Amino acid sequence: MGKDNRFKIPVLKIITNIFSTIWLSKIDLIKKTFIPVLFIVAIGYLENSELVSSSPLMLIFFLIGFASYVLIAVTIHRIVILGSDSAPKFGIQAWTSRETR
């Protein structure tokens, strides 16, 4: 019959480029996600303490932790997709409309 005109996606090249970009940007990734990671560590420590274990503060800690994970994800994706200059020097430190989209 006819010739197959489908475009073949270079999956291996795409995966290699993604890991290469992450490896080359590792210093920026560490520097720009450091503050949200500290929040997550502190919240994890506080959640396991006896003072907070059964109080309404658990919901507040959960929301702060969730927001920190979102900020980390947005920062990492900005660096990988748009380059190191697309995220502020010390990462995203405030919630903007970009994180809500």
pLDDT in tens, 19-75: 888 898 888 888 888 888 888 888 888 777 766 666 777 788 888 888 888 888 888
Residue 100: both structure tokens together: 């809500």
Helix (H/G/I), strand (E/B), else coil: 85 = helix
Please list, in sequence order, all residues whose beta carbon lies within 8 angstroms of the beta carbon of residue 79, skipping any fewer than 6 positions away.
Answer: 25, 28, 29, 32, 86, 87
The reply to whether the predicted model has a pTM over 0.75 is: no
